[in-house]
Amino acid sequence: MRHVCPICGQQTLDDKSGTFVIAVPPNIPGGNIQIANANWQGCSSCGEEIIPDDLSKAIEQTRYQRLGLLSPEQIKQVRARTGLSAVEMAQIIGAGDKSFTRWENGKSVQNKATDTLIRLVDQHPELFADIDAQRKPDREPLIRNYFESLPTLKGGNPFAMAAHGEPLSSAACESIRNRLLELANASQA
């Protein structure tokens, strides 16, 4: 049965099935894209083709694949595995806050370098924590200063150091004993 074409208004829109062939721009290698076992509609009057969502997704997937890039669907899957928000993912790889959402929507196409980073987040997320730490150059001196100041702290606040597992000095023990005696005397009075 023929349908009314939404473009030309003629009742010349036919259901079609088989291998769908679509020409691609020259920057995509491999010639025309062919999707087997496809269903779509074509108008014999104006030549319009109505492509359903699943076919359109299959074409998109093939385009990205030919370019060596993750498809929007695959990018979504990578993020789902990390459990991070789109903004967090963008920050991890050093892109603009809205970039990741655009790649997931297919509104923009990630370049090859970015595509590599997204694959790395998927396969080696720990690398990004290391790089983040390296980017905070004051972090290591802060830790070193802390450890170097421990002997000073020990002298100044023996109880704080005892909480860090240091043995209490005899002077500190003596001061605790005196304080306990004071308290005992005060309660007796």
Q: Does residue 45 interact with Zn ion by CB under 5 A?
A: yes
CB of 49 to Zn ion, least distance (A): 10
Q: Is there binding between residue 50 and Zn ion (CB under 5 A)? A: no
Residue 76 burial class via C-beta count within 10 angstroms: exposed 0-12, middle 13-18, buried 19 and up: middle
Q: Which range of residues in 35-43, 60-68, 116-124, 143-151 is near Zn ion by CB under 5 A?
A: 35-43
- Minimum Å gap between C-beta 53 and Zn ion is 20
> Which lies closer to Zn ion via its Cβ, residue 42 or residue 106?
42
Q: Can you tell me which of 46, 50, 120, 162 binds Zn ion, judged by CB under 5 A?
A: 46
Q: Which residues are registered as beta bridge partners of 3?
A: 13
Nearer to Zn ion, 48 or 60 (CB): 48
Q: Which stretch binds Zn ion (CB under 5 A): 18-26, 42-50, 95-103, 162-170?
A: 42-50
Residue 43 interacts with Zn ion (CB under 5 A): yes or no: yes
What letters, b where the CB count within 10 A reaches 16 and e where it falls short, cover 18-53? eebeeeeeeebeeeebebeebebbbbeeeeeebbee
With contacts defined by CB under 5 A, name the span among 38-46, 141-149, 151-159, 166-174 that binds Zn ion: 38-46
Q: Are 150 and 121 in contact (CB under 8 A)?
A: no
- Collect all residues with Cβ–Cβ distance below 8 Å to 151 and sequence separation of at least 6: none
Please count the residues of this chain forming the interface with Zn ion, following the rule CB under 5 A: 7
Nearest residue (CB) to Zn ion, 2 versus 98: 2
Candidate list 7, 87, 109, 120; residue touching Zn ion; CB under 5 A:
7
Segment interacting with Zn ion, rule: CB under 5 A, options 46-54, 102-110, 116-124, 144-152:
46-54
The only residue of 8, 58, 168, 176 in contact with Zn ion, by rule CB under 5 A: 8
Angle in degrees, 0-180, between the axes of helices 112-123 and 72-82, rounded to the nearest 10: 30
Bridge-partner residues for 49, per DSSP?
42
Q: Are 110 and 75 in contact (CB under 8 A)?
A: yes
What is the C-alpha separation between 61 and 19, in angstroms, rounded? 16
Enter the DSSP assignment of 46.
Answer: T
Question: Which residues of the shown chain bind Zn ion in the complex (CB under 5 A)?
Answer: 5, 7-8, 43, 45-46, 48
